[in-house]
């Protein structure tokens, strides 16, 4: 397993739809092994293939409160259906702040559906189908968005979009060629060695 650099906002692969996986072969299995290694090194709760520069429809996740679903897994060629619509009120900065390994060190509030259905296939080629609720539903939506070329910051309301754009200019992001290396560069979310987090609150940050 190899830990790979994580792409930062502005890298083209993050902003275009990823391709379907047609065959689960050794290349795909190696990619998934590397995704798990990178997710763990970055203390993430999820990682999509475009975040390590590969435009394939795959994401990994790890979340202890996943209910009856395995707390750690991979979904290939996922599909997602919202069972509950996101709230239309302004998101709360304490309750709804999300983060992203491809927007390192920042967090902004965003409403998500708290109940979704996820479908896809596993590494063994068997079908996967389950419902996710709460923060686990947020993680599923966050990672699925990556496969369609969206970052969570693309979905912020106008108030938080303005703040995000100022932060992006300050950081010098939005251009190709930027990345950070888990395990070598300072952890942008300040996680300790035992934490594993990504899209939830900033402290749960994916996130």
**Residue positions forming the annotated binding site for Fe cation:** 100, 142, 146
CA–CA dist 52, 35 (Å, integer): 8
Residue of 11, 98, 143, 197 marked active site: 143
Extract the tokens encoding 106.
Answer: 């920042």
- Would you say 198 and 64 are in contact if contact means Cβ atoms under 8 Å apart? no
The residue with tokens 């699925």 is 144
The residue with tokens 């990504």 is 198
From residue 122, alpha-carbon distances to 60, 125, 127, 161, 194 in Å are 10, 5, 6, 35, 27
- Would you say 29 and 123 are in contact if contact means Cβ atoms under 8 Å apart? yes
- Would you say 83 and 182 are in contact if contact means Cβ atoms under 8 Å apart? no
11 catalytic, yes or no?
A: no
Residue stretches of the annotated binding site? 100, 142, 146
From residue 144, alpha-carbon distances to 18, 56, 181, 185 in Å are 10, 11, 23, 26
- Would you say 46 and 198 are in contact if contact means Cβ atoms under 8 Å apart? yes
The set of catalytic residues is 143
């Amino acid at each position: 397993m190899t830990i790979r650099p994580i792409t930062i906002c502005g890298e083209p692969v993050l902003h275009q739809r990823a391709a379907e996986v047609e065959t689960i072969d050794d290349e795909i299995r190696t990619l998934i092994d590397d995704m798990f290694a990178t997710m763990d090194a970055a203390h993430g709760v999820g990682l999509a293939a475009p975040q390590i520069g590969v435009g394939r429809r795959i994401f990994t996740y790890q979340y202890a409160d996943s209910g009856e679903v395995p707390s750690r897994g991979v979904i290939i060629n996922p599909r997602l259906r919202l069972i509950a619509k996101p709230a239309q009120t302004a998101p709360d900065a304490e309750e709804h702040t999300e983060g992203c390994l491809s927007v390192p060190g920042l967090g902004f509030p965003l409403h998500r559906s708290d109940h979704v259905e996820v479908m896809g296939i596993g590494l063994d080629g068997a079908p996967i189908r389950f419902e996710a609720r709460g923060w686990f539903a947020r993680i599923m939506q966050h990672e699925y968005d990556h496969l369609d070329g969206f970052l969570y910051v693309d979905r912020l309301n106008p108030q938080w979009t303005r703040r995000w754009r100022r932060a992006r200019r300050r950081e010098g992001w939005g251009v190709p060629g930027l990345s950070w290396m888990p395990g070598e560069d300072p952890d942008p979310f300040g996680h300790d060695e035992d934490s594993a987090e990504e899209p939830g609150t900033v402290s749960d940050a994916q996130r």
